[in-house]
Structure formats: structure tokens, C-alpha cells
Structure 1
Amino acid sequence: MDNSKDYCEEPANLRGTLLIDLVKSGDYSHLTCNLVECPHPPDPNCDSASCKERPVCTCTDNQLLSTVVVNCSNLEEMPPFVPYGHWANANIELIVENGSMKLSNPTDYISRISRLSCVNTTILEMHPAFLSGLKSDIEIQFSPQEMREIPIEFYSLDPNKLNFGTSPVICDCSNLWVGEWIRNRGRENQLFCTTDQGVYDACY
């Protein structure tokens, strides 16, 4: 058998690629599989304006990273479920675009999330019960966030893996832990506080 003539058939973005060339390159980042079992699947017959505003998700199994990548749009709350990947890949990267969310109810998959990216999605609130279920080393990207207050459950997370943007949160005598958290574990320009005296870097 001449292995030099074997070509990839799936996934579609690698179709026609010589297997020997793929092995020689050592780049397996495109070896992904679409997962059929996915919340809010796309509707191919959706063509009305109201239909296009409904939640839509796609789920991809990234074998190289052992991660299920879930890309959703128009969400108001977390997806009802997230599938496991092939070979029981459990880690989840959740990307949420073009929505407005209150993260209030923990889900049975919340501890599997390793990265949460909110792109053009306003986060209005993160409930303590939701935060308590997250991994302590989770990466979170807020863009933007409009939380006026952040629960003390944030204290168990690594602030260096959180991107709050420039929107300030309220800081007063009731949440002095915010400054301690950023000073001890974070860095400058990571989180901003609004006080009676104005807006300041939480690091100071």
C-alpha cells in the first residue's frame, strides 16, 4: 500500500490533504469534528429577522486540545447542556457573541468550562452560585461587562485570567476584598473601581 497517496476525507477543511504531509507538518490544529448533539442548532430554513434573533450554537470537538468548543450567539442565559466530545473530551471553551446575559443558574457542565469568552455580549450579573461552580483557573473574557457589583466568590478565581475591560464596578466599605484581591494576586489596569471620589484602579 502506498501511504503517500492517502488523502484526508474529513474534516472538510483538510479534505484532499495528503496524510503524509499532515504528519510531516505536525500541525493537527484543524483536526476537528462537528458534534451533532448541540444546544440551539442552526436552522437552515431560518430567513426571517425574528428567526435570526433566536439563540444559535455550534459545537466542535477539538481533538488536539481535548476540548469541546461551543460557539453561541443571541443567548440570554447559559445553554441547557453541552455535549462531551469523542473519546470523552470534557473541557469546554464557551464563546458567546451578540447577546445580553445574566449568569445566575449553575448548570451540570459548569465545572467543565476552562474558558468563557463574551464577545459583544453584555454581562449584567454573575450570581454567587454560578461563580462557585467554576474552575478556579478558568479564563474569562468580558467584552463588555456592565456588572455594577461583583460577588466575593470572585476571590477564589485567578484575576490574571480575567479580563474585565474598562467598565468600573462599585467599590466601598462593603467590599474592601476587591482591592486586596487585585493587589495580592492581580496587576495594574486589571479592574477599575468607582467611588465617591471618582474612578480608580482597584490595585491602589
Structure 2
Amino acid sequence: MKQTTCRIRCVNALVLAGVIATTLAACSADPGATPTTEPTTAESTSPIDRFLTPTESVPPTAYPSATNSEQVANNVVSWYESGGEEQITGVRDRSKEIYSHHAEDNWSIDFSLFFDRSKEAQEYPPIPDRKTQAAWSTALKHVRSGASDIYMSNQLGIVRGSKEVKREAHGWKELAQGVKGLKAIEARLHREFGLDPLTSP
């Protein structure tokens, strides 16, 4: 009786050991095992990163907290080189193009490029320097407001009265103020951070 009980226990122990060994082998060596839920490096990469060339970059929406002027300067340079430069020069060029018609009495002005460019710039991440960003926001506000007044006061099919004439005059002043502000921003970026625009103002 004792021998039979011992045999049963030994067989149970061997069976249990075999099951454990088989399970461990399956977990460690099975190529078809279910992968873990943690994303790999490739999976965690943003889809846009796959289409960027080594010279392109996505503008950061947040920058390291700056505690000194050197860190502020580094953040501004990063903003400028990741697309900020194109935003400033694009708005500047479109604004100057519209303003060039001021003395020509020419109303066949294409505002679409300007409004698209200025809207894109307005939605772009802010300059990581408080004073420069404040000047940039103010300049954008002036050029957008000015161009809107000029555009609305010269719509085809409207009868121009004193209200439209005043609105147009106000628009040209606003636009001129905005262009002046954009030039001041580029001057500040050069003076404070050593940054130059794509083309000379």
C-alpha cells in the first residue's frame, strides 16, 4: 500500500514538472508568442516623423523652462530654425505686396495668399520669448485687421460711401503699422539672437 502511494506521488510530481517546463519553453522560445503591449521605438514614433528629411523638423509646441538668457536664446533659435523664419518672412512679403498697391489705385489685389499665410502664422506655435512674441502678435493683428478693412471696403457690387472710404483709409494705416512692426521684429531677432531673415526686408 505504501509503495502504491509513493508511486502515485512520484508520477504526479513528474507530470507537474513536465507541465511547468513545457510552459516556460513556450513562453521563451515560441516565435509566435503574443507580443507585449509596450510600443516599440518604431511604433511610438509620430507618423509625421517618417516623412521628414534630416534637415526638416516639427516646431516644438513647448520648450524647456528657461531660467536664463542663454536658454531663452536657444529656444528662440529652435523656433526660428524649425519654421518660424518662414512664417515671419511669408507674412512680411505678402503684407508688403498688398501695401505696394496703396498709391496705384489698383483694386485687383489677390488677398487669398495673404489671408492664408497670416492665418497659418497666427496658428503657429508662439515665439518662446515674451517680448518678441508680444511684438509678433501685435504686428499680425495690425496687418490682418488692415488687410481685412481694405478688402471689405472694396468689394465688387457695393456702393462706396463715406463709411467705406474711411474704412479703407483706416485699413491702409493699420497695414502700414503692421509692416513696420514686422521689420522691427526682424531687427530684434538679429540684434538679440543673431538671426537673419531669408531675404533682406
Mark yes or no: TM-score above 0.5.
no
User: Higher strand share goes to which structure?
Assistant: 1
Q: Tell me the TM-score normalized by structure 2.
A: 0.23
- Relative contact order, higher structure (CA 8 A, sep 6+): 2
User: Higher helix share goes to which structure?
Assistant: 2
Between structure 1 and structure 2, the one with the greater Rg is 2
